[in-house]
């Protein structure tokens, strides 16, 4: 678990009303799963919409992002968080049907609990230019 990356993610991208609860849940090993499952649906009510660059699906994610290097991944199968390459993270994302959060330097990718045919992936960026 990387508390610094998770805390930065919450403080930067999450709406004020949800921050305290998510900080508590992510920092509590017994509640981490609850924190992640909050991203199953209604992501627009959790993240500040000014950071939503786009919605996409696994087939077109790379046309919106050009990331390289290592990223931090949290999912039900990586509940403690794990650093891996962007390529490995996207492969993991495509295999999961539950929420996945990928944190990069200035971007976050959140996959909701949906099938891959819908635009279930949100790309967030710190740049407010869309």
49 domain residue, yes or no: yes
- pLDDT tens across 31-43, in order? 999 999 999 988 9
Q: Residue 85: which H helix or E strand, with range?
A: strand 82-85
- pLDDT tens across 49-96, in order? 999 999 888 888 877 666 678 999 999 888 778 999 988 998 898 888
23 domain residue, yes or no: yes
Distance CA 79, CA 42 (A): 21
15 domain residue, yes or no: yes
pTM to 2 decimal places? 0.90
Displacement of CA 34 from its chain's centroid (Å)? 14
130 domain residue, yes or no: no
45 is in which domain, residue-wise? 3-125
Question: Could you give the number of structural domains in the chain?
Answer: 1
86 domain residue, yes or no: yes
């Amino acid at each position: 678990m990387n508390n610094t990356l998770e805390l930065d993610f919450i403080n930067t991208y999450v709406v004020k009303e949800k921050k305290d609860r998510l900080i508590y849940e992510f920092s509590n090993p017994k509640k981490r799963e609850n924190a992640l499952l909050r991203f199953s649906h209604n992501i627009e009510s959790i993240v500040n919409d000014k950071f939503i660059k786009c919605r996409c699906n696994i087939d077109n994610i790379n046309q919106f992002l050009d990331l390289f290097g290592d990223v931090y991944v949290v999912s039900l199968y990586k509940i403690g968080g794990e650093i891996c390459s962007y390529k490995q993270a996207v492969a993991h994302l495509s295999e999961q049907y539950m929420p996945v959060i990928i944190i990069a330097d200035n971007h976050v990718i959140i996959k909701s609990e949906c099938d891959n045919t819908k635009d279930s992936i949100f790309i967030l960026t710190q740049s407010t230019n869309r």
